[in-house]
Amino acid sequence: MKKLITALKRAAAAGAAALAIISLQPLSSAQAAPAPVVGGTRAAQGEFPFMVRLSMGCGGALYTQQIVLTAAHCVSGSGANTSITATAGVVDLQSTSGRVQVRSTRVLQAPGYNGTGKDWALIKLAQPINLPTLKIATTTQYNTGDFTVAGWGSAREGGAQQRYMLKATVPFISDATCKAYGGYYSGLVAGEEICAGFASGGVDTCQGDSGGPMFRKDNAGAYIQVGIVSWGDGCARANAPGVYSEVSTFASAIASAASTL
């Protein structure tokens, strides 16, 4: 689900999630509906082994082999929860070759989350998934340049969730530029949210992509997560970029929360 308010929180409504870059937070302040990466191309099998698809229609990434990092708006609260199924190991959700599916045991939603900012959550799995994890940024060093987004969300605003993982590249947008787009963007929570996309639109995350990672290469050439798909005003519209939770801001809180699961 990606917040789409007309902005959608990029989580899929009624359990469907997509990665078309639309909005990353609910369609209204109450619903979330993300889509697959809009303007993206199909990811290769094994290209992003840390990617996870969640059964409520969101994305996520393996923070550890037994904990998934996703968006707060994708879950309903904290506590015991065995209702979520995490799928990993495949780009084709219908493939059974290499596919791993594990149920959740607990969920921890960001403390103080109220729909604005702090859009992160952790899901503990019943058993580890033997796949590479995605490290998270602990400083703002990598909050610039070009980022990769990926997911199974809608490939167009209002479209269906995707069978195959799509990927796309989006550039960093400064807080000042993002806020200047006005409308929902004037309420950007600087320091907690980071924007990325093209002024002309055309490439974005969308409904169903909520909770998925925005990442780039670090100085050693390894992937590092800098954002979490959160919301946007529609998907891939001009002057309406995707908004992502700024992971480095919450790195310490995420690590502390993970140690309690």
User: In this predicted model, what pLDDT tens digit does every residue of 51-86 receive, in sequence order?
Assistant: 999 999 999 999 999 999 999 999 999 999 999 999
* Model pTM score: 0.89
User: In this predicted model, what pLDDT tens digit does every residue of 108-155 receive, in sequence order?
Assistant: 999 999 998 999 999 999 999 999 999 999 999 999 999 999 999 988
CATH of region 2-258: 2.40.10.10
What are the Cα distances from residue 220, in Å, to 171, 216, 217, 223, 224?
A: 20, 11, 8, 9, 10
pLDDT of 21 reads 34
- Residue 39 to residue 98: CA distance in whole angstroms: 27
Q: Which residues contact 220 (CB under 8 A, 6 or more apart)?
A: none
User: In this predicted model, what pLDDT tens digit does every residue of 203-237 receive, in sequence order?
Assistant: 999 999 999 999 999 999 999 999 999 999 999 99
Query: Cβ atoms within 10 A of the Cβ of 174, count?
Result: 12
Q: Are strands 242-246 and 223-232 parallel, antiparallel or unpaired?
A: antiparallel
Report residue 30's pLDDT band, with 50, 70 and 90 as the boundaries: very low
pLDDT of 68 reads 98
In the numeric block, which tokens belong to residue 43? 């990811």
pLDDT of 6 reads 41
- Residue 250 to residue 245: CA distance in whole angstroms: 9
Q: Which of the two residues, 34 and 182, has the higher pLDDT score? A: 182
| Cα radius of gyration (the chain) | 16
In the predicted model, is pLDDT for residue 13 greater than 60? no
pLDDT of 205 reads 94
Nearest by Cα to 85 from 64, 58, 108, 111: 58
Residues recognised as catalytic: 73, 119, 210
pLDDT of 8 reads 52
Least confident of 16-25, 84-93, 123-132, 242-251: 16-25
In the numeric block, which tokens belong to residue 58? 């969101």
- Residue 45 to residue 91: CA distance in whole angstroms: 6
pLDDT of 11 reads 56
